[in-house]
Amino acid sequence: MTKITFVQPSGVEATVEATSGLSLMEAALHNGVEGILAECNGAAACATCHVVLPKAVYDRLDAPEDHEEDMLDFTEAERQPCSRLSCQVRVSDDMDGMVVHIPGE
Amino acid sequence: MKTVVMIGAGQASLSCAAKLRAKGFDGEIILIGDEPKLPYQRPPLSKAYLLGKVEAERLLLRPQSWYEQQQIRLVTATKVMRIDRNNKAVELSDGRVQPYDALVLATGSAARNLPQSMTRSMSGIHTIRDLNDIENLRPELDVARHMVVIGGGYIGLEMAAVAKGLGLEVDVIEAAPNILGRVASKETADYILELHQDQGVTFRVGEQVKELSGDGKIESVVLGNGEAIPTDIVVAGIGAMPRVELAEQAGLEVANGILVNAFGQTSDPDIYAIGDCACYRLQTGDVRLESVGNAIDTGELVAGNILGEEMMYEPKPWFWSDQFDMKLQIAGQISTQDRITVRDVEGEGRSHWYHRDGQLVAVDALNAPRAYLIGRKMVLNGLSPTGEQLANCNQSLKEIFDSL
Ligand SMILES: Cc1cc2nc3c(=O)[nH]c(=O)nc-3n(C[C@H](O)[C@H](O)[C@H](O)COP(=O)(O)OP(=O)(O)OC[C@H]3O[C@@H](n4cnc5c(N)ncnc54)[C@H](O)[C@@H]3O)c2cc1C
Ligand code: FES
């Protein structure tokens, strides 16, 4: 189990136990974290699962694929340097303790 | 309000239940569904799931633990047989009676079947709506060499792409003059047709199916022109029908779906309808959509209205489809009179833009995620670049957007 903290735009935090291998989006939804709508349930079709990762984690991951890259340019909340679509990021053990921000509109 | 009961445990009722809790409702929430599984997503069924790209567990919208945590009671493998409006209760297939204060109909839609006179209960003939359909199809797919898809709609075309990806020979038969006739423009349909043809899918467009032939098991599909296409599997993708039986029996008004007002209420104010089964009667006309987005939006709307918010439905249609390596994303809704602008820009993908009375109303993005997201923003906010602006390849979409 990997502990991940999601921070709402309001600053409210929720720490959840995420299962490695699932997506970050699933970790949030499965644990009732609000703010990640994930309307397409992970099909990379909606861009409503936007999160901002810590730089160290962002740098460690493979770069987003072109499709995600393009979607990130026009998410509701403006893209930040470490923005990702959370449905495209798989939880791994080395993310334990990570703090993820959900950007506000 | 103490007890909210929902009939059907799918995308719409899940969204409604989750929203009720998110809004602080602390009464009882009970979802009653006739399928054995926890609520799951249907879109992957005709897409990545059969290719083994999505594990069964990941189809689930939420894990079991979530329902416990949210105190949402989920009754699976149980059908609602009757609504007793006088006593405000529903009768279940196991004989139990469940009272409600508010009732939400979220019964979805059912795949339209080929007529029994044509199928004669032969094996090898399928429709795609639920997991059970896929489990029936999968073992046949493993050994089949040829699939005929009847109906060139989204589900049929997605199945064709999946079957091709699995190495089958695939024919698609469409009776209308174009594939995707009711749901896409000719330009978009032609583009998708070409994509399939490039991948080796064969099309018979404008052809009727006259007969299915075989002895206990499908052997060939005979067309109106007499041609017989030998096949091991037939998938019928000829549309879906809203499941209105319960509502009808209960004397609720039914049109093309369970009729509700802009608040999602049926002709009985304590009974609501959401998702595929519901037909929203709005000032602008009747709206019945079959999409995940609509299931979520109407589910969430009704959650608020059960709590007294009195919000009216404003449809924000959007849809996606995956076929081969193409992701189609659609925002807005087209009609046959719309003026279309094709935009094809290196690095941006291809997109089709629709204007009605000078106003941008929809966009089809074909491997063009930027066009989809920008187009959706424009349509929802009433921003309207001209066709000429959009056709101009020297301006990026961002520049066009920023200039509005
Ligand atoms: C193969 C396929 C691919 C799709 N692809 C896309 C896509 O790419 N994008 C998109 O936006 N949409 C897609 N859709 C449409 C989308 O899945 C539906 O619009 C959505 O599931 C509707 O949700 P719902 O809750 O209204 O209905 P459903 O998800 O159908 O749920 C209704 C549930 O109610 C149950 N039920 C019915 N009557 C009773 C009763 N009397 N008692 C108990 N239970 C009952 C049904 O068995 C079902 O489980 C696709 C659909 C299919 C079938
Ligand atoms: S959930 Fe839709 S893009 Fe991530």
pLDDT above 70 (res B38): yes
* Structure confidence at residue B87 as a pLDDT band (50, 70, 90): very high
Model confidence, pTM = 0.97
Q: How many angstroms does the Cα of residue A25 sit away from the middle of ligand 2?
A: 8
**Domains in chain A and their CATH numbers?**
2-101 (3.10.20.30)
Q: What average pLDDT score do residues A51-76 get? A: 95
Angle between helices B186-198 and B154-165 (to 10 degrees): 10
Q: Whole-angstrom Cα distance, residue B226 to residue B210?
A: 8
CA–CA distance, A24 with B28 (Å, rounded to integer): 30
* Amino acid B55: pLDDT: 85
B158 touches chain A (CB under 8 A): no
Among chain B residues, the shortest Cα distance to A29 is held by B62
Helix, coil or strand: residue B5: strand
Pairs of residues, one from chain A and one from chain B, whose beta carbons lie less than 8 Å apart: 57
**pLDDT reading at B289 higher than 80:** yes
Distance in angstroms (rounded) separating the CA atoms of residues A27 and B256: 38
pLDDT at position A105 is 65
Can you tell me the distance from the alpha carbon of B43 to that of A61, in angstroms, rounded to the nearest whole number? 28
Compute, in angstroms, the gap from residue B112 CA to the centroid of ligand 1: 13
Query: What ligand is nearest to the CA atom of residue B15?
Result: 1
* CB–CB contact B62 A29 (8 Å): yes
- Best probe of the B interface among A20, A39, A76, by most B CBs < 10 A, is A39
Distance from Cα B264 to the centre of ligand 1, integer Å: 18
Question: Are B58 and B32 a contacting pair, CB within 8 Å?
Answer: no
pLDDT value of residue B48: 83
Q: From the alpha carbon of B289, which atom of ligand 1 is closest? A: 19
Instruction: Give the per-residue pLDDT at B347.
Output: 87
Mutant choice from B21, B70, B292, B348 vs A, greatest count of A C-beta within 10 A: B292
**Does the beta carbon of B10 sit less than 6 angstroms from any atom of ligand 1?**
yes
The count of other CB atoms within 10 Å of the CB of residue A51 is 25
Chain B contact for A32 (CB, 8 A cutoff): yes
List the single residue in A with minimal CA-CA distance to B297: A39
